[in-house]
Amino acid sequence: MYGMGARALSFQLDMPLAQAAAFIREYFRVHAGVKRYLDQTLEEARGRGYVATILGRRLYLPDLLSPTPRARSNAERVAINMPLQGSAADMIKVAMVRVHERLSREGRAARLLLSVHDELLLEAPEAEVEPVRRALVEEMTGAVELVVPLEVSVGVGENWFDVH
């Protein structure tokens, strides 16, 4: 729902436009706090000319004040989406560094292979699975201090497919 309008929802879910609009209205009625957050984010972005992640990384959006409706609408979608997705990206980057440093500090044979969105993929000897699991949870949940706790789940398998 990151700024998606009824037309886009109607198209993506192959539903009538009126049904998509009703869905959005009901979603924001039930989740009024989300609506307040989105409205506040847009208002602040228009006033400042940028949005920022929780770690302060900024994205300037001059088209928020564009006289062209399409440019303004695109900038508004970005203004709503970027703080959320950008903050998630910031958090996973911090977690990657922390996990790597911890594995090195502990002399682990486990290695960080890659990140995929909000996931980290590691390769570890079987004997290190439990201590690496603990390290992952501790470092990922502590990557960024938030008001609400982050939840981390760890899957173990022979390959990435088996973990899902």
Conformational region of residue 3, where left means phi above 0, alpha means psi within -120 to 50, and beta covers everything else: left
pLDDT one-digit tens code per residue, 116-141: 988 999 999 999 999 999 999 999 99
> How confident is the model at residue 101, as a pLDDT?
97
Looking at the structure, do residues 113 and 43 belong to the same domain, yes or no? no
- Contact (Cβ atoms closer than 8 angstroms) between residue 5 and residue 12: no
Conformational region of residue 43, where left means phi above 0, alpha means psi within -120 to 50, and beta covers everything else: alpha
d(CA 70, CA 60): 17
As for how many domains the chain has, the answer is: 2
Instruction: Label residue 144 by pLDDT band (50, 70, 90).
Output: very high
pTM of model > 0.85: no
Q: Which domain holds residue 144?
A: 90-163
Which of 3, 6, 10, 2 shows the shortest CA–CA distance to 24? 6
Instruction: Label residue 77 by pLDDT band (50, 70, 90).
Output: very high
d(CA 97, CA 23): 41
pLDDT for 2 beyond 80: no
Q: In the listed set 41, 61, 86, which residue is the last one of a domain according to the structure?
A: 86
